[in-house]
């Protein structure tokens, strides 16, 4: 089955012809790498604004840490943390994902305008399925739990009334089930067939349950849950099988940012210092079909992806620019300057009511395209900025304006 090319998230059809960067925004006091940094709404909003400027295609906002040994948060407190940030992001027109396992929190945030629900318990709670079935939100279905040794499909964490199995699991996070080490010849890694059979079986079961309740398959994104009850060896097996997971036909997320596993393979003990290694692991997943990249360091990931993608893939998109020639600058000058931009070509140029509309085909990502456009305009309007608006695009260049 071909890799999914679209992820439908409420009013947004997210084009996955190029990978998307999801910025992680934890509005918590105790997240494993940035706890407390964005705890105040004003700090969280400032960080979100910077992420969007730096190339984030969507923001994943979380109000409960699920780090190893986390303290569960009651839904009312989680929503109190999330609400002001979600309201601001929605008002700004951002694509907003809510990282929650609580149906009441998901419902409230979707009602506020959030377009994605990211559930670490895989929509195993019937009430969370109802949130998805009665809205148009995108759904991130994640697997939590061991996948090797004596693990079975039933070893995955399922949301259970009156119990918090996720908290129990994360009390021993990254340990996994290591009974495979006692097998004949003491293998370096667990058996891939066993790991992937359990993982794929769970993810497909959860996806099909959502579909049975009326959720379109194009709304479902899969996350194998690297680091959630899995050993470093389990995680290696899963990441090497990224292409197999991507071929299941759903958008695939890579969410390894700063995790303990990344520290293990890179030798970096401090979580906040694992961004370079995160980029390396994530780009390997991109090469095998991952298309939603959940990261803390948006700037570094976006820059690395821009460099990787233009070098590795024969990809381009179309941007439409509206300009307002003045200061003695005419349309021919503007068109020629834009046509000279790197990796870009003007395909259509037309004047409409004293405005110039230019359609450009480009292989540049959103941020480098904007910089090239600004440099081109500045080069022909040195005395005063030429008013312009990058006002419609075929994804993944997103709408952005400037004067």
Query: 10 Å Cβ neighbour count for 339?
Result: 15
Contact 44, 62 (CB under 8 A): no
Report which of residues 167 and 266 the model is more confident about. Answer: 266
Residue 159 pLDDT: 83
pLDDT, average across residues 209-213: 98
At 292 the pLDDT is: 98
The residues, ordered by sequence, that sit 6+ positions from 102 with a Cβ below 8 Å of its Cβ are 64, 75, 78
Interatomic CA distance for residues 32 and 295, integer angstroms: 13
Q: Is the pLDDT of residue 208 over 60?
A: yes
Note the helical H segments in 241-295.
242-246, 260-266, 275-287
Q: Give the per-residue pLDDT at 116.
A: 98
For the record, the structure tokens of 159 come out as: 């949301």
Non-local (6+) Cβ contacts of 289 within 8 A are 3, 242, 243, 245, 246, 247, 252
Tokens of 175: 């340990």
Binning pLDDT at 50, 70 and 90, where does residue 163 land? confident
pLDDT reported for residue 395: 43
Which CATH number among 3.40.50.1820, 3.40.50.300, 3.30.830.10, 3.30.70.560 corresponds to the domain 317-402? 3.30.70.560
Per-residue pLDDT of 234-273, as tens digits, reads: 999 999 999 999 999 999 999 999 999 999 999 999 999 9
| pLDDT classification of 1: cutoffs 50, 70, 90 | low
- Cβ partners under 8 Å of residue 364, min gap 6: 306, 310, 342, 343, 344, 372
Classify each residue of 298-330 as buried b or exposed e, where b means 16 or more C-beta atoms within 10 Å of its C-beta: bbbbbbbbbebbbeeeeebbebbbbbebeeebe
Q: What is the pLDDT of residue 91?
A: 95
Q: How many CB atoms lie within 10 A of CB 270?
A: 9
Angle at 160 between CA 215 and CA 178, to 5 degrees: 100
Q: What whole-number distance in Å separates Cα of residue 339 and Cα of residue 197? A: 51
Share of the chain above pLDDT 90, in %: 67
Does residue 320 contact residue 392 with C-beta atoms inside 8 Å?
yes
Residue ranges matching CATH 3.30.70.560 in the chain: 317-402
DSSP string, 216-228: -GGGEEEE--TTS
- Of the chain, the percentage scoring pLDDT greater than 70 comes to 86
Q: Could you report the per-residue pLDDT of 94-132, keeping only the tens digit for each?
A: 999 999 999 999 999 999 999 999 999 999 999 999 999
Q: b/e string for 138-166 if b means 16 or more Cβ within 10 A?
A: bbbbbbbbbbbbebeeebbbbbeeeeebb
Q: Please name which of 40, 72, 16, 83 lies closest in space to residue 292, comparing C-alpha atoms.
A: 16
Q: What integer pLDDT is reported at residue 170 of this predicted model? A: 63
- Burial code of 115-127, b = ≥16 C-beta within 10 A, e = fewer? bbbbbbbbbbbee
More confident residue, 115 or 397: 115
178 to each of 148, 152, 165, 189, 222, how far by Cα in Å?
7, 13, 20, 10, 25
User: Which uninterrupted H or E stretch holds 111?
Assistant: helix 103-112
Alpha helices in 290-330 (DSSP H): 298-312
Residue count (the chain): 403
In the block, which residue shows the tokens 């996806």?
A: 207
Residue 65 confidence (pLDDT) above 80: no
What are the tokens at 223? 């996350």
Nearest-angstrom CA–CA distance, 172 and 186: 23
In a 10 Å sphere around its CB, with 0-12 CB exposed, 13-18 middle and 19+ buried, how is residue 296 labelled?
buried
3-state helix, strand, coil in the chain (%, to 5): 40, 20, 40
Q: What is the pLDDT of residues 171-185, one digit of tens each?
A: 655 567 888 998 888
Give the best-scoring range by mean pLDDT among 69-83, 151-165, 302-316, 378-392.
Answer: 302-316
If you average pLDDT over residues 224-228, what whole number do you get?
A: 94
Assign 212 a pLDDT band (cuts: 50, 70, 90). Answer: very high
Q: Are the CB atoms for 99 and 60 separated by under 8 Å?
A: yes
Residue ranges of the chain assigned to CATH 3.20.20.20:
6-312
Q: Which residues pair with 106 in a beta bridge?
A: none
43 pLDDT more than 90: no
Please give the CATH topology (third level) of the domain spanning 6-312: TIM Barrel (3.20.20)
């Amino acid at each position: 089955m071909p890799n999914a090319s679209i992820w439908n998230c409420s009013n947004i059809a997210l084009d996955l012809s190029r990978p998307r960067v999801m910025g992680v925004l934890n509005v918590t006091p105790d997240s494993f790498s940035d706890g407390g940094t964005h705890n105040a709404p004003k700090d969280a909003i400032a960080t979100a604004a910077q992420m969007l400027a730096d190339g984030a295609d969507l923001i994943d906002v979380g109000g409960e840490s699920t780090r190893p040994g986390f303290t569960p948060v009651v839904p009312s407190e989680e929503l109190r943390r999330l609400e002001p940030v979600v309201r601001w992001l929605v008002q700004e027109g951002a694509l907003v994902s809510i990282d929650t396992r609580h149906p009441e929190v998901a419902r409230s945030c979707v009602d506020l305008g959030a377009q994605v629900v990211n559930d670490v318990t895989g929509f195993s709670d019937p009430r969370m399925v109802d949130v998805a079935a009665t809205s148009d939100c995108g759904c991130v279905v994640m697997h939590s739990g061991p996948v090797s040794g004596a693990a079975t499909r039933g070893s995955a964490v399922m949301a259970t009334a009156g119990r918090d199995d996720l908290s129990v699991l994360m009390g021993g996070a990254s340990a996994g089930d290591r009974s495979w080490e006692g097998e004949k010849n003491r293998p370096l890694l667990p058996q891939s067939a066993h790991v992937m059979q359990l993982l794929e079986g769970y993810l497909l079961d959860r996806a099909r349950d959502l579909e049975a309740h009326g959720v379109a398959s194009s709304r479902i994104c899969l996350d194998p849950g690297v680091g959630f009850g899995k050993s470093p060896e389990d995680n290696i097996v899963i990441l090497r099988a990224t292409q197999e997971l991507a071929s299941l036909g759903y958008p695939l997320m890579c969410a390894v940012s700063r995790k303990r596993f990344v520290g293990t393979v890179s030798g970096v003990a401090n979580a906040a210092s694992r961004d370079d290694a995160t980029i390396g692991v994530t780009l390997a997943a991109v090469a095998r079909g991952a298309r939603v990249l959940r990261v803390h360091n948006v700037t570094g990931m976006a820059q690395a992806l821009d460099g990787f993608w233009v070098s590795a893939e024969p990809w381009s998109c179309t941007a439409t620019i509206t300009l307002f020639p003045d200061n003695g600058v005419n349309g021919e000058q503007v068109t020629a300057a834009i046509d000279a931009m790197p990796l870009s070509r003007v395909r259509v140029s037309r004047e409409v009511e004293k405005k110039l509309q230019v359609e450009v085909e480009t292989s540049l990502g959103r941020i480098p395209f904007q910089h090239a456009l600004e440099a081109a305009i500045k080069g022909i309007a040195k005395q005063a900025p030429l008013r312009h608006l990058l006002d419609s695009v075929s994804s993944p260049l997103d709408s952005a304006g400037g004067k």
